[in-house]
Chain A
């Protein structure tokens, strides 16, 4: 209980100092605004993402520039790009967030177990992360996704993406959490708790978890940005769901359907900017959180010279 209250207090303090950090606030703003757009998507556009826009003769309006069809023109399929963009936010963010959370849960769980219990479990886990670290991730994911889809397990392409990303990106979290748990384990209050006969589950829940929680939060935010970038990449390579276009899928269509030759910048610029928007937000946020939890060196020896106050100089 006490530890959790401490945690709440820590979060409040964190928030206090966070508010003063410009980078962090910008990052949070970027992420939240994207979330709001995703949630409000149906109210932000009169069109559905599947709807074909038409000219006055009722013919499909493809590759229409923004001047012809505001605000962002139409794509190769005659869809409203703005509608695709705001509904795409739902898909991109869903995949990013769910995959990120899976990675967080798996990573934290395994990291805590490994750090707390040590021994062969720790060894095994560390070897697995070592191995996963050197296998190039994109080829592995592409091969995995392609294989899983080929097996026709009746899982939607989006679910496949979420699972593959989530289950491959837990290693960094696991390592981080493990080392943190290792250092907490050595502290006195854990030894004391163990001495009075507290069970493992109790110690983990009451003492370890609240201590590693802030770290997990910061790390998750960073993983989110990776997950969103990876999703966009896989979708760009054609592994997304073409009927539920995410930002990556939009770019896949733009590239495959000659948006460049058509000079349709309104088709390929917005989705990319949206991806940068969110992933930059997460990176800023995550970096700031990490810096706050784990302040690095405040200065170094070559930053300049001390100021010498000359006699008579007012200070």
Chain B
């Protein structure tokens, strides 16, 4: 597979949840992006904007009240067209997942090495003997002394747990790794170590990563491409340089303003006044309109379309159209 063909192409991905009382929550709407081999894509946005839902929709791990539509082309196969049985073969073997809180994501009453082993054996990649060998290598790779694999998750520190989680994610040598806020629950020092580890691993193993975070510092450090989500829709999408150097969407601009110092990414997003929209009660126009400092009259009624604003740089805002019109 050459670098120019995307490993994963998400097209028009929409997801809504059916809630009680016939209420629908529109969590994702018309999300599209590409992930290329050896590259890292960052999914950023505030809590509840649909970052995790995107990952879960791709892996089809959402509960039965979720309704997913669109296309998810992985190595040319539409994952949404597979049966559940076929889908299981893709999970972990092709696409692995790292959770935000490894404390809860690891089974508390199973030894760590056994949890890693389980994934290898499940997908019948290696016979048992060699699988054990591989577990040791993986632990070693993430910097855990292999004999500590005999322990239980609660005997690990937070950082170690996340490392163990990473080792587990690498167990089947997936070509794509989803990392859902892998460092949020850790303290700053450990965060840096874990990110370093992820970076190294990507270099050594050459996998593609989709990194979900609300931490723009992490994005700047790790990512090649960035998707900015707001209210379940793509606000802006482009290379990390393009986004950081010329953010086009007012939301992206505000987001970046909230992080004046990329190396101290601890400030709160609350510096943007207002709160994200409720998914059950979305504005009919632009979803950012109620909080936007530069809103126009049409923003209130008319949802803006995603438009190309540079090379492989897209944003969805009526202002851009106005600007274009002005230029013309």
Contacts and interface: CB of A to CB of B under 8 A. Distances in A.
Nearest to B79: A308
Interface in A289-315: 299, 301, 303-311, 313, 315
B123 interface: no
Interface of A is mostly: loop
Contacts of B32: none
Interface string A176-194: 0000000000000000000
Nearest to A313: B69
A304 B67 contact: no
A83 B65 CA distance: 53
A310 B64 CA distance: 15
B69 A306 contact: no
Nearest to B14: A309
Interface in B76-93: 80-81, 84
Interface of B is mostly: mixed
A306 B70 CA distance: 14
Nearest to B16: A315
A308 B63 contact: no
B249 to A, nearest CB: 28
B262 interface: no
A308 B69 contact: yes
B104 to A, nearest CB: 12
Contacts of B126: none
Interface residues of B, number: 15
B307 interface: no
Contacts of A311: 69
B198 interface: no
B320 interface: no
Contacts of B62: 306
A304 B80 contact: no
Given A305-B84, A308-B80, A315 B63 contact: no
A301 B80 contact: no
A128 B293 CA distance: 62
A293 to B, nearest CB: 18
A315 B84 contact: no
Contact of B66 (A301, A307, A310, A315): A307
A299 to B, nearest CB: 6
A305 B67 contact: no
Contacts of B68: 306-309
Contacts of A305: 60, 64, 84
B70 to A, nearest CB: 8
Given A301-B61, A303-B63, A306-B68, 10 more contacts: A301-B63, A303-B64, A305-B60, A306-B57, A306-B63, A306-B66, A306-B67, A308-B67, A308-B69, A309-B69
15 contacts: A299-B63, A305-B64, A306-B61, A306-B62, A306-B64, A306-B67, A306-B68, A307-B67, A307-B68, A308-B60, A308-B80, A308-B81, A309-B67, A309-B68, A311-B69
Interface of A: 299, 301, 303-311, 313, 315
